Structure 1
């Protein structure tokens, strides 16, 4: 296995820059100087190119030549939020409160009657990967038809909040199913791998509204009814994002199935540009991806098995922690008046769980809720928006009502 080249410090980068300047004339390096510098300082040729490019730009700008290591930009770009988006996010977060004040604090709802659904692409393999080998171990030889067009399958994932009693016994794991969008087609010709007419699993490339409707009505809702704990409320909210293929809440075909067997399913759409309000986007998908990558897949069938196995292997206790993180995001949204200029909060949930102090719901200061309601009413200039504010504050303590 090839050894990793050492990373240059600032003083070493300055030495490289000075060496290049000494071997240049009128801003031009002599032929072969970059390769000599790479060999002399034992670094990659691309590193020399980058240093010389920065030196040339500094000389052209008339500033002193000084090389510093470029720090990678790790902050993800957050979506742009309009004023209407912010008000919608704030209103959504306030609606998640239970409305029961305890010593100046208001807890969020338990969320045991909410199912979060969302889609994600899972790839057969990654373009780059990292392996650790023993000194006498051979490197695996990975190949694919095209690294720009790696096979992938879209899955619809459904997750509810797990029910765990005080003794740590899992009553309901919250994992209601993960559904691939695939089709089986007979092969058109013979090959060395299979004969003509063999059924082959393929991904559905275009996910349309009829496909989403069939998946939701013919598979998901039926599974929800079969797996839903008997002691939980049968009035269930299915939260989805605002993707165009998703069906409307009043879809007649969905309504025909949603109110059967004593269940009442209600579709709700989360605020626009708000992946931090869905447990799948917030952490569940990343965990499944990490577990799935631990098992190699050579074909689509193995990819299906690995994704489903990763979904089932994920511990319910950690899924419950994601719901607590979701409530923490709601609290930050209220603090930011509906904005997204905050970091995902951490509360050492693993340590609190070991100590038996993990809360069932996060509590918000009463004064913070009142500030959010005042801001929401002040910014809602249209009469219709102000009237709908009553829906937001319904169930909260009278002390929070704004005149």
Structure 2
């Protein structure tokens, strides 16, 4: 089933979860999560899309909930906090074949939680993960998990223990230390703003965090620092991996056009702003691989089935479809006599679309956001 879930803040102190069927493009279910939940940290579907799990956070106390989403029924939930040695959690995932097992990772934390007789129970583990701050993970098979860290490592975990540690940051001779950063916050909204308190927070300053992991038959893809996409292949008869491909997104200096001439889409295929890769999506047959950026663009990995000679230069990813708006769309108008519509928005761009061919006819960028636009009925 092609089901996707969208989480949004409700009008009151609640969270709304909407489920959509991508085949028919319609909403199938909508339900609310109450009890003044501050935020949803992570969500996950079971492999058969029957169950749905949420990781909720309120004042650094977490709640893991298991739902039968088609009936809006809560099956079980469990509180997770300091008593369980938890400081910061990042992501949850279902086991690839067992709906009763959920993996959960975070700072110095990687555990399995099993649903037994209507309750969730943390599985015992003696693993020591004091040196790891996990922020994303993926099941490699039914027994092993790959987890990415904030300081640029991918770890192979077996029964909660680190079996292999891969440093994906090239040229690093020594571990990057943790820097203590002082963050100034107001002591009280009602008190004098000059009175402030210092809160010490440990953060990694490498900007080389592994933000996304996706598994393929012969290895895995990982996004590092938002700037690079790496492909690692498994070495035979071991749990070591070797990097054999690298990808990046074309970066250009921002262009501020004041010309009255509209530029064709082929002349401006690449967006004039620096983008960060966020997530990877891979089709079941591994023939189609897409990368989404923080500017709402989709790029495609097109050479996965082609044998390549090792190259020191990264491959530049190409747009998978047309170039979309990178921010909020503020204005929209439709022609009458031609299949055209025009859109504008906060990304400083004006775009003329052909809705019959699903393509951009022309595009122009400005020095400031565009809030309104009108198109002549003839399309000119």
Scaled by the length of structure 2, what TM-score is found?
A: 0.24
More strand by share: 2
Scaled by the length of structure 1, what TM-score is found?
A: 0.23
